[in-house]
Structures are given as C-alpha cells and as structure tokens.
Amino acid sequence: MYSGAAAAGSPRRDFISVTLGPEEAAGVGGYNNSKAWRRRSCWRKWKQLSRLQRSVILFLFAFLAVCGVISYTSMGETWKSITNKSLDDQRTEQEIPRLKLANPAVLPAPQKADANHGDYPELSLQKPPKPPHVRRGPSNLQIKAPWRDTRLKTRHDTMRAVEELVEADKVEKTEKSIISWRGAVIEPDQSTEPPSSKITELEKPSPVEAEDQKEPVPINERQLAVIEAFRHAWKGYKDFAWGHDELKPLSKSYSEWFGLGLTLIDALDTMWILGLKEEFEEARKWVANDLVFDKNVDVNLFESTIRILGGLLSTYHLSGDSLFLEKAKDIGNRLMPAFKTPSKIPYSDVNIGRGTAHPPRWTSDSTVAEVTSIQLEFRELSRLTGDEKFRKAVDEVMKHVHILSGKNDGLVPMFINTNSGQFTHLGVYTLGARADSYYEYLLKQWIQGGKKENELLEDYMRAIEGVKKHLLQRSEPKKLTFVGELAHGHFSAKMDHLVCFLPGTLALGAHNGLAADHMKLAETLIETCYQMYAQVETGLSPEIVHFNLHAQKGHKDVEIKPADRHNLLRPETVESLFYMYRFTGDKKYQDWGWEILQNFNRYTRVPTGGYTSINNVQNPSNPEPRDKMESFFLGETLKYMFLLFSDDIDLINLDKYVFNTEAHPLPIWVPA
Ligand code: DMJ
C-alpha cells in the first residue's frame, strides 16, 4: 500500500521516503549512508513543512498508532486459538500411538498405500468416486438436529433440548416432530477417542460437540412409510413379546432363542436412526433394568455377537449412552470362553452364565462364516475398552484362516474343525449360507482398520477372482448373471437369497478404491437379486432359487423348489439396494426397494401388529404365514429400507461407518 501510494506520486511521498528508508532519501538528495546526515536532513525537511502539513503528518502518526494497538490485540486472540488448536492436535497425535501401544499385536504399523500390491494388479487403489447425488432439501421443513448444538452435553440434555426444538418448530404432521429427533448423525467415536480400561473413561459419551453445521435432510414419504412399518412391527412386539427374543404375530405370543430380548436389542439403533424417541426410551429402560446376561443359557457365538454385541456397540456410538457400552462389555466377556479350543478356532456355542463353551452335539466343527464374522465387533470392543484380549482372539482366527490350505482360488469351504483347525468337508464352495459373511468381513475389517491390513485385502481380492472364475454364470432367457455353487467340481445353478449381500459389498469395495469391475459386477448382480423378487408371484424372493441355464419355452430365469419357497423377511437385497443407491444415485434402486416394501406390506403384515415370515412366495392368495418375525426384520430390513430412501449421505456416512453383518453401524477407525 505504501509503495503503491508512492508510485502514484501522492503528496505523502516525501514523508514516506524520509521515514521509510534510504532508497527514497536517495531519490531526494543522492545516496549517503551516514546516520547523522540522514537525521539532519530529516529535521531540515520537517522544518520546511507548513504547519498544516505537520499537523496532517502528526495526525497520521497518531492514527497509525491506534490501528497498531487494535490489530495487536486481535492478533493475540487469534494466536491464542491457534496455539490451543495445535495443542489439541498434539493430543490427538499422541493418542494414536497410545492406541497402537495398547494393542500392538493387532494394528500393523502404517504402510504405504502401494505396499504389497505387486502381486495383485487389482489392489491398486483408485480414488473413490464422489456420490453423484448429494441432495439436500429445503431448510424450512427442517428442524435443527439436536446433536449439532454444542451446548448439549448429556444424552438427557439432548432429549430435553430436542423436545424444546420440536415444540418451537412444530410442523403439521406428528411424524415430523418425531423425525426431528433422529440422532443418527452423531459423528462416530473414532480413533481420537483413546481406549482405556478405566471405567470412568468408559462412561464418557461419544463426542457430540465440535460438529460442523450441516442442514439435516427432511424425511420423505417413503421413509415415512418405513417408519409406519416399523411402528406396526414394534406394536406387535410390544403387545405380545416384550423382552422376549422373537414375536409370533399370529399366535400373539413369542419364541425364545437365547432369552435375551433379541428383537429389542437388534432394533435399538434402528429406532435411533428412524427417530423413534419414545420407543427408544422405553427399550432403553428395559436394557437398563431387565437385560441380564448372568443366565444359564447356551447362546450361539456368531448370532449373539452380530445381533447383541453389535447392536449394543452401535447404539452406544449413536447415542453416546454408556449403558450400552457397559452391556456390550459384559456380553463380550461372557462370550470369550468360546475361544478356549485346541486350535483357537472358537466353538459355536457358549453358556454365558457358566462360562463354558462347546461345539454342536453332533460335530466338533464350526461354521467358517460364523468364526470369521465376529471380528468387527470384538475388535471394536477392544478399541473402546483398551482390553486387547477381544481383538487378539478374533485376529488369531483370521490369521489362521489366511494361511490355511483347502481354499480354491480364495473360496473357502463351509466348515472348520475346532480341534485340528483344518477346513473340513472340502470341495464345496458357496457364497451363501455358512460362508457368506466370511467374504463380507474380509473387506469390512480392512475398511474398519483404515485399509492397512493387507492380508485381509489380499484374501478378499483373491476370493472375488475365485467367484468370477468358478461361480458366475448367466441364466436364460434374460441372461441374468448369478452366483452359483461348486461341489466337487460340479457347478450348481443354485443361489441363496443370502448371496444378495454381495452386490452391496462389491460396491462398497469399489467405493473404497478397489477394482472398477467390481462395481460393474455389483450392478449386474443386484439386477439378478431384484429379479428374484420380480419374477415371483408375490413379488417376494424365496429363500433359494435355481436359475435356468438353457432357454425353455414358457420358463422364466428363476425356478423355485417347494422346499425353498419361504421368505423370512431377510434384508440382503434391500441392503445391496441401499449401497447401490448411495454410490450411484440411480433412482431405480429406490423404486425396486419401494416395490419390495409394498409386497412385504401386502403379504407379510399381520393386522394386529407385526410382520411374519411366509412359507409360500408363489401363492399370493395364501402365502402361508409362518407366525414368526425374525429380529433382523427390525435390525436390518427396515433400517436398510429407511437408509435406501434417504438422500442424505450423512445419515450413516459410509466413509465414517461400516455396517456389521446385522446392519449395526460401527465407526471406521481412520475415516476417509
Ligand atoms: C442376519 O442375521 C445376518 O444378516 C446374517 O449375516 C445372515 N442372516 C441374517 C439375515 O438374513
């Protein structure tokens, strides 16, 4: 500015040249570097000025001095905040080594992104594409999300404040006020939260402060329909099965599996995400007062891990309520005896009251999917508690399976022996029951751990190559690509509905930088999964289909055997539709999901409350209700429906959370 004024030949030129430096002085009287000469010359110049000129100069000096004082004060403030911030950063950086120290055997040292990629061209990471459809709705229909308010510290404060906000912004529909409570967007409790074994630290809620201000996206009609479906299901459960494992909606009673309120626990985070405040509060009370794990009961390690441990952990993360972490710790500890086997491959069953574990009565084998799909939950429990034993136990299983022989191009058999640690029943390969979530958890553990555990990625990539090589075929007449099975070299065109998790998993991998052809495969497979619904009389998929490999007049692609024509309200197709919509923004996926929801309503809804599995998807006039509502209908199917219909990518952001195989979101430790 000064030099600009000088260049423009302003009247202040002399003053400036005199004051600021020898260059300007030189312009007036020739170059002389003597200090005394300069002082004298200045004084002479000053004397030559008129009184008015002197006053102006003095006034300018005074003005500059005042400005200097003001800017010094504000710089001081800025500096203070910069210093504080850098202290915070240092704390965070110090916590990361602490995390590593607490669990040295499990988290490998950070590696370069290109490490270990030599053998696998597909492993080269691509920049994840940006979702094309970040749409945010008009703010006039929105109520500020309570968890955004930095004043809210405790969960109860949150509840109270939300009620006030809801009052203030009341909209016509009652649902709207409930929706406004939706608390799913709390940032996950990620790697900045140090693990600690101290109980006082465990009670710390997830961080809800320091949130950036984003506009919440309003709930749409289809999401409202999901909320209505959930409420209807919940009504049945509450009226006839409260605190029990599963609702029997027709007989208006319940069934017990573990006697641990399975449906209630599985549904906790769904209620949170859907914004069902009252229901959540009531269920929380039950967890606080009635959920007791000190029971002489045998539970299945896998099922109780994915539903109970997973459900409690994700609810802890979403709500910040330490009750759920305490319960998670309790059940986690009680499941640990399962790992006391000669091979360290866990037994399938644990008595959580007695602390004993055993395999099923007829065999000493465990199911491969079961022993390799408990890792996300136990690893997260270690991270939260600082107790390494959980993670060590499950990581040992993965390391063991990684080097085990008996795989076929990365495809694993379905059973593993708990004594020898070897695969058994070799030669049968499927992506369906007993193997499915092995593949899912390879990718998801890799994502959870910040994409550093290369062995998991190698196994995943190899397995997908194995699927392409051995299990993919195309049906007639529509040429649908499907995933069949291989039994001792013979291909079978059989596909479980369970396999429909795969398009979603492939899309998630592609989103995380894996081979682009995974996304192409995901797109063709989700079309097939949709056809498993669309080609059936009720518009609902059976449990298993057989694809026609040869065109026959009057035959569809999908054939259904009488023993396979039941539908258990399973989530896998809706789950994959959710991922596909998130990553592509293609509305057809939402429309397909909408059709499925309507067909669930048409054929499985019980008027007095609840939904039921059905025995015959081919008979619209009598689908033969089975009288059972599986806990995953509330834990998974309706949750994925709600998320599928949402246009808010921050509603469980997939760069921050990874869903366990029961749809319970857990934080990614090092978010993208
Ligand atoms: C759920 O318990 C889980 O999704 C599991 O991975 C497979 N089976 C059911 C849902 O179909």
The enclosing domain of 622 has a CATH number of 1.50.10.10
- State how far the alpha carbon of 390 is from the alpha carbons of 106, 189, 366, 374, 395, in Å: 11, 19, 19, 10, 9
The CB of 349 under 6 Å from ligand 1? The reply is no
Burial class (CB in 10 A: 0-12, 13-18, 19+), 87: exposed
Beta strands in 276-368 (DSSP E): 298-300, 349-351, 356-358, 365-367
What number does the ligand 1 atom closest to the CA of 498 have? 11
pLDDT of residue 144: 26
Number of domains present in the structure of the chain: 1
pLDDT of residue 407: 98
Asked whether residue 503 is domain-assigned, the answer is yes
In terms of Cα–Cα distance, which of 525, 505, 617 is closest to 570? Answer: 617
269 or 69: which leads in pLDDT: 269
Over residues 56-76, the mean pLDDT reads 60
| Residue for token pair 């995974």 | 518
pLDDT at 341 over 60: yes
Report DSSP state, residue 496.
Answer: E
What number does the ligand 1 atom closest to the CA of 303 have? 2
Q: Which one of 263, 305, 306, 377 would you pick to mutate in the ligand 1 pocket, going by the greatest count of ligand atoms within 8 A of its CB?
A: 306
pLDDT of residue 57: 72
Over residues 429-451, the mean pLDDT reads 98
Catalytic, 436? Answer: yes
Residue 134 banded pLDDT, cuts 50, 70, 90: very low
**Helices vs. strands in the chain: H and E counts, helices first:** 25, 18
Q: Is the peptide bond before 477 cis (omega within 30 degrees of 0)?
A: yes
Asked whether residue 601 is domain-assigned, the answer is yes
Give yes or no for a contact between 413 and 368, defined as CB atoms under 8 angstroms apart.
yes
Residue 46 banded pLDDT, cuts 50, 70, 90: low
The CB of 637 under 6 Å from ligand 1? The reply is no
In terms of Cα–Cα distance, which of 369, 376, 457 is closest to 412? Answer: 369
The separation between CA 103 and the C-alpha centre of its own chain, rounded to angstroms, equals 22
The CB of 437 under 6 Å from ligand 1? The reply is yes
In terms of Cα–Cα distance, which of 565, 546, 577 is closest to 620? Answer: 565
Asked whether residue 578 is domain-assigned, the answer is yes
What number does the ligand 1 atom closest to the CA of 636 have? 4
Tens digit of each residue's pLDDT (9 = 90 or more) over 135-192? 332 222 222 232 322 222 333 333 333 344 334 433 333 333 322 333 333 455 554 3
Q: Report the percentage of the chain scoring pLDDT > 70.
A: 69
Asked whether residue 491 is domain-assigned, the answer is yes
Copy the structure tokens of residue 468. 């392409």
Centre of ligand 1 to C-alpha 178, Å, is 29
Over residues 235-259, the mean pLDDT reads 98
Q: Which residue's CA is the closest to the ligand 1 atom numbered 11? A: 570
pTM of the shown model: 0.74
Asked whether residue 257 is domain-assigned, the answer is yes
- 454-466 and 502-511 helices, crossing angle to 10°: 130
Give yes or no for a contact between 635 and 663, defined as CB atoms under 8 angstroms apart.
yes
Beta strands in 268-379 (DSSP E): 298-300, 349-351, 356-358, 365-367
pLDDT of residue 365: 98
Q: Which residue's CA is the closest to the ligand 1 atom numbered 3? A: 662
Beta strand 253-255 with 298-300 is unpaired
Q: Which residue's CA is the closest to the ligand 1 atom numbered 6? A: 661
Asked whether residue 49 is domain-assigned, the answer is no
The dihedral of CA 487, 489, 494, 496: what is its sign? positive
Centre of ligand 1 to C-alpha 662, Å, is 6
pLDDT of residue 22: 33
Over residues 114-123, the mean pLDDT reads 34
The CB of 310 under 6 Å from ligand 1? The reply is no
Catalytic, 572? Answer: yes
Domain ranges, residue 428: 221-261+365-646
Catalytic, 630? Answer: no
Q: What is the largest CA-CA distance in the chain?
A: 113
Q: Which one of 372, 440, 567, 572 would you pick to mutate in the ligand 1 pocket, going by the greatest count of ligand atoms within 8 A of its CB?
A: 572
pLDDT of residue 663: 99
Asked whether residue 436 is domain-assigned, the answer is yes
| DSSP helix, strand, coil percent of the chain (3-state; round to 5) | 50, 10, 40
Catalytic, 211? Answer: no
Centre of ligand 1 to C-alpha 307, Å, is 9
Asked whether residue 239 is domain-assigned, the answer is yes
Centre of ligand 1 to C-alpha 237, Å, is 20
Using CA atoms, how far apart are residues 139 and 216, in angstroms rounded to an integer?
8
Residue 301 banded pLDDT, cuts 50, 70, 90: very high
The CB of 631 under 6 Å from ligand 1? The reply is no
